Amino acid sequence: MPDSIIAKHAIELAKELGISSTADAIIAAATCILLYFISTPIYHLFLSPLARVPGPRLNAISNIPLNRAVLAGNYHLYSRQMHEKYGPVVRLAPNKVSTSNTSDTRTILATHAFRKSQFYDQGKLILPSLFSTTDPETNKVRRRQLGNAFAMHTIRSMEDLVIQDGAWSLVKHWRALAESGGANNGWARANYYQGFHSIAIDVIGALGFGHSFGILQSGNAEIISWINDALKMSSIRSSYPITKHIPWMFKKYKRGEQQLISFVKSTVAERRKLIQETGKPPREDILQRFIEAVDPATGQKITEDELHTEIILLNNAGTDTTSHTLSWTLMYLLHYPDIHRRVCKDIRSAFPDHSAPIRYDEAKSLPYLTAVIYESLRMMPSVSGLLPRVVPSGGFELGGYHIPGKSEICLAFAACQRNSEMWDEPNRFKPERFLGPHADQRMREVMAFSSGVRVCIGRNLAWVELYTVLANILREFDMRVPEDSEYGPQRKNEIGEPAEIPGAAFITCGPRNPKVDCWIDIRRHSSAV
Ligand code: HEM
């Protein structure tokens, strides 16, 4: 409607209401605003279809408590505490609820009916990526275009690279470190978070950028800081989209994002140049599969902007997720020495020859190692940020509450996997739950990689990394928590279990203070020297 017509109608309305002076107009506007601020909370608290859903009253009227938890990196704890206090369905914000019920979560994830919310799109850098797109069609096309790059047979064909720049690189690095440990009765000190984080990025370098970044050896932190900046900025933009329009806000993170984009563009340009010069790809890796990506259903090729977007995503989705899982797994082993001893014994007796790396198939054949990894993924799923889905029109029955269309349901893998209705002693690290006749069923109930149509597309690569890194370092090294460590087997939490080191969840959840809490003493095991 043209502005002049709106103005005419406004004047007529003002006349009908008897508003003739500026003072009257100000009073009327103030009254409207006041009414709005009084009536909105009343609506959310008592009249909204979500009014019956349990949760704190403040959350029912405001997004602030939830946003504060998300921005402080506490969502993984916050959602668990909310569910422990209020039950399987909780109202987290005026328009958002969360569920800790695995079966409902699976139903929500099974199809594209529950779309990812705008929260994802707002975090985007160049274009919406395979991960962030809220549009089912874009996601389907992209998954068809890139699915082959992540298929198990493709990842297996790259296993040598994954081991060389991942597990074996870390073994060699720590061996050299252990040799320097003579002065301390053979024990040397290493930061395991830094080791895992470096190799996770080096593996993505090897597969997605044409060469390892060599971060483990050089400690070059540039690319790490760009990735961290991009991840933080994406999280901030998702909660506060306005920040992208204010150039001076979060300048450092925005600069990091731009550097990451330039780096990705130059990587692609370099690969294309090499192909042009030699007439063939220099190697078969994920970068090559991405460049050649075609949708087998329609023949649609990936565009240049889409390509850059997805390579950036490789860094964001494929590094912290894996390295955090490795860090949590090792932390649990260090905190539970009996479990640590048992898993090492299994690995060392199955693969006594230290001269060659243990490969994925070999490591995977060990039931106790498998149980340890699943238990770690259950206790601390590394993707534990806010993962909101939009309820389709028609609504959804969730745990006895009608959730109307357009509301959002936040997935809470961390809360699902510590739900006492599903898991016996949920807050205790107990790999045995994944052994025995019901092991397969229990493993299927772990949702750390999500499920359904938007299940993690990179999980095959993640599994190869998790198994090979853990099997090789646990075989090679004795490890213990340093004596001066604040956390370890001796420090118990309120239920008498070893306290976890504090975590921080910015979409992925990792150790909050790795430079303080993630040290270990290592030495080569007697069978390795
Ligand atoms: C232990 C390691 C990993 C864990 C626990 C994990 C977990 C997850 C989870 C829970 C999701 C769903 C997120 C959501 O719905 O919002 C997801 C999606 C995704 N993951 Fe992973 N991930 C891991 C490793 C990887 C790796 C190594 C890559 C790639 C190199 C990767 C790429 C992706 C992508 C592209 C998606 C988006 C899929 C879609 O929306 O269709 N992930 N991951």
pLDDT, tens digit, for every residue of 439-484? Answer: 999 999 999 999 999 999 999 999 999 999 999 999 999 999 999 9
Q: Which residues pair with 294 in a beta bridge?
A: 301
pLDDT, tens digit, for every residue of 416-451? Answer: 999 999 999 999 999 999 999 999 999 999 999 999
The predicted model gives 306-324 an average pLDDT of 94
pLDDT of residue 9: 58
What letters, b where the CB count within 10 A reaches 16 and e where it falls short, cover 81-109?
A: ebbbebbbbbbbbbbbbbbbbbebbbbbb
- C-beta 462 within 6 A of ligand 1: yes
> Per-residue pLDDT for 17 more than 70?
no
Q: Is 456 annotated as belonging to a binding site?
A: yes
For the chain, how far is it from start to end, CA to CA, in angstroms?
A: 81
Pairing label, strands 401-403, 503-506:
unpaired
Give the C-alpha separation, 427 to 424, whole Å. 9
> Per-residue pLDDT for 515 more than 70?
yes
Confidence of residue 2 (pLDDT cuts 50, 70, 90): very low
Total residue count of the chain as it appears in this document: 529
pLDDT of residue 1: 41
pLDDT of residue 527: 85
Burial class (CB in 10 A: 0-12, 13-18, 19+), 359: buried
Q: Which two tokens stand for residue 383?
A: 């993707």
Q: Which two tokens stand for residue 109?
A: 């994830």
- C-beta 383 within 6 A of ligand 1: yes
| Alpha carbon 396 to chain centroid, angstroms | 26
The predicted model gives 297-322 an average pLDDT of 94
Q: How far is the CA of 176 from the centre of ligand 1 (A)?
A: 33
- Dihedral of CA atoms 80, 84, 87, 88 in degrees, nearest 10, equals 30
Q: Which two tokens stand for residue 145?
A: 């275009």
pLDDT, tens digit, for every residue of 83-133? Answer: 999 999 999 999 999 999 999 999 999 999 999 998 888 777 789 999 999
Angle at 382 between CA 374 and CA 321, to 5 degrees: 105
Could you tell me the CA-to-CA distances from 337 to 158, 330, 490, 498 in Å, in that order? 34, 11, 11, 11
Q: Which tops the pLDDT comparison, 255 or 124?
A: 255
Look at 16-20, 68-72, 192-196 and tell me which has the smallest mean pLDDT: 16-20
- C-beta 448 within 6 A of ligand 1: yes
| SS3 track for 87-119 | CCEEEEECCEEEECCHHHHHHHHHCCCCEECHH
Residue to mutate (ligand 1; options 120, 134, 321, 379; most atoms within 8 A of CB): 321
Could you tell me the CA-to-CA distances from 317 to 338, 431, 469 in Å, in that order? 33, 26, 18
- 182 by DSSP, 3-state: which? helix
Measured over the CA atoms of residue 202, residue 207, residue 209 and residue 212, the dihedral's sign is positive
> Per-residue pLDDT for 381 more than 70?
yes
Q: Which residues pair with 397 in a beta bridge?
A: 402
Q: Which residues pair with 189 in a beta bridge?
A: 521
Q: What is the DSSP string of 395-431?
A: -EEETTEEE-TT-EEEE-HHHHTT-TTTSSSTTS--G
pLDDT of residue 262: 94
Give the C-alpha separation, 41 to 124, whole Å. 31
The predicted model gives 72-84 an average pLDDT of 95
pLDDT of residue 248: 80
Measured over the CA atoms of residue 42, residue 43, residue 44 and residue 49, the dihedral's sign is positive
| Alpha carbon 355 to chain centroid, angstroms | 34
Q: How far is the CA of 44 from the centre of ligand 1 (A)?
A: 34
pLDDT of residue 414: 93
Q: Which atom of ligand 1 is nearest to 453's Cα?
A: 41
Count the neighbouring beta carbons within 10 Å of the beta carbon of residue 341. Answer: 11
DSSP designation for 46? I
Q: What is the DSSP string of 471-505?
A: HHHHHHEEEE--TT-SSSTT-B-TTSSBPPPPEEE
The predicted model gives 46-69 an average pLDDT of 96
List phi, psi (to 5°) of 456.
Answer: -55, 120
Q: How far is the CA of 276 from the centre of ligand 1 (A)?
A: 33
pLDDT of residue 183: 66
> Per-residue pLDDT for 29 more than 80?
no
ipTM confidence: 0.99
Residue bearing tokens 């395991």? 192
- C-beta 235 within 6 A of ligand 1: no
Going by C-alpha positions, the residue among 212, 102, 198, 3 that lies closest to residue 441 is 102
- Domains of the chain, earliest start first: 1-47 (no CATH), 48-524 (1.10.630.10)
- C-beta 314 within 6 A of ligand 1: yes
pLDDT of residue 336: 98
> Per-residue pLDDT for 20 more than 70?
no
> Per-residue pLDDT for 7 more than 60?
no
Give the C-alpha separation, 177 to 194, whole Å. 14
**Cβ contact 120:133 at 8 Å:** yes
pLDDT of residue 238: 75
Mean pLDDT of the chain: 92
Q: Which atom of ligand 1 is nearest to 324's Cα?
A: 1
Residue nearest to atom 11 of ligand 1 (CA): 456
The residues, any chain, with a CB within 8 Å of residue 19's CB and separated by 6 or more, are 25, 28
Percent of the chain exceeding pLDDT 70 equals: 96
**Cβ contact 199:523 at 8 Å:** no
pLDDT of residue 160: 97
- C-beta 387 within 6 A of ligand 1: yes
Confidence of residue 15 (pLDDT cuts 50, 70, 90): low
pLDDT, tens digit, for every residue of 387-421? Answer: 999 999 999 999 999 999 999 999 999 999 999 99
